[in-house]
């Protein structure tokens, strides 16, 4: 009770700081991106913010993709001149390299390997990401490539949807500890993705 009494006079401060996160805080026009690019006054849709990285900084598309090469399920937003709009790392052109490859060591057949869109169910929502399967002499079946990236393919043939191992573990714990059902868990993830229900990527294996 004493802690609550101490906190009450600070309520405005907490609210102001939360509202500050809704805007660009100190990263407005004229600020410099990590790559040296300076954001011009009239330049819109170029200042990206990550809701999952613990920094309020705004970055250009390229710097955002560099930062998230191995965290493709972070949720982005882009400043449209008035407010932040929801965005994804698929929108900014991020490609997740599968197989034994990385962004720095691309598959030697990368130009022949087609880019594919994958729907991924993760702990913070449902995402569409772009992946590139390995197609060189090191290549294994696409199911194995997904499993080695800690992505559980939803179907055996031509998987278009996968669930992260983290997400499966979270569901298992919630199910054991609080008896959360699969439907309840999935509907929570839908709300985390978009609470209006307007932009939730369809996932056919659960709801056909």
Instruction: Find all residues with CB under 8 Å of 31, minimum gap 6, and list them.
Output: 38, 39, 58
Note whether 134 binds Zn ion by CB under 5 A: yes
Q: How far is the CB of 32 from Zn ion (least distance, A)?
A: 9
Q: Which segment (33-41, 146-154, 160-168, 200-208) binds Zn ion by CB under 5 A?
A: 33-41
Q: Which segment (9-17, 94-102, 166-174, 181-189) binds Zn ion by CB under 5 A?
A: 94-102
Instruction: Kindly determine how many residues on this chain lie close enough to bind Zn ion according to the rule CB under 5 A.
Output: 14
Helix axes 182-193, 165-178, angle to 10 degrees: 130
Note whether 52 binds Zn ion by CB under 5 A: yes
Note whether 120 binds Zn ion by CB under 5 A: no
Q: Is 83 exposed, middle or buried (0-12, 13-18, 19+ CB in 10 A)?
A: exposed
User: Among residues 134 and 203, whose Cβ is nearest to Zn ion?
Assistant: 134
Q: Which segment (38-46, 69-77, 125-133, 150-158) binds Zn ion by CB under 5 A?
A: 69-77
Note whether 200 binds Zn ion by CB under 5 A: no
The span from the CA of 13 to the CA of 72, in Å, is 33
Q: Is the dihedral of CA 106, 111, 113, 119 positive or negative?
A: positive
Q: How many CB atoms lie within 10 A of CB 120?
A: 25
Binding test (CB under 5 A) with Zn ion, winner from 46, 69, 106, 136:
136
């Amino acid at each position: 009770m004493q802690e609550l009494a101490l906190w009450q006079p600070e309520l405005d401060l907490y609210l102001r700081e939360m509202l500050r996160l809704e805007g660009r805080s100190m990263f407005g026009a004229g600020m410099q991106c990590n790559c040296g690019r300076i954001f011009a006054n009239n330049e819109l849709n170029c200042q990206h913010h990550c809701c999952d990285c613990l920094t309020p900084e705004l970055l250009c598309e390229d710097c955002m993709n560099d930062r998230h090469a191995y965290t493709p399920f972070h949720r982005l937003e882009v400043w449209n001149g008035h407010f932040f709009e929801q965005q994804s790392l698929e929108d900014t052109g991020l490609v997740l390299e599968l197989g034994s490859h990385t962004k720095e060591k691309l598959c030697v057949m990368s130009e022949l390997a087609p880019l594919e869109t994958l729907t991924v169910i993760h702990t913070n929502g449902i995402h569409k990401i772009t992946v590139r399967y390995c197609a060189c002499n090191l290549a294994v079946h696409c199911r194995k490539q997904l499993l080695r990236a800690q992505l559980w393919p939803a179907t055996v043939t031509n998987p278009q949807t996968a669930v992260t191992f983290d997400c499966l573990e979270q569901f298992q714990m919630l199910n054991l500890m609080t008896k959360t059902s699969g439907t309840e868990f999935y509907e929570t993830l839908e709300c985390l993705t978009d609470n209006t229900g307007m932009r939730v990527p369809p996932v056919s294996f659960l709801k056909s």
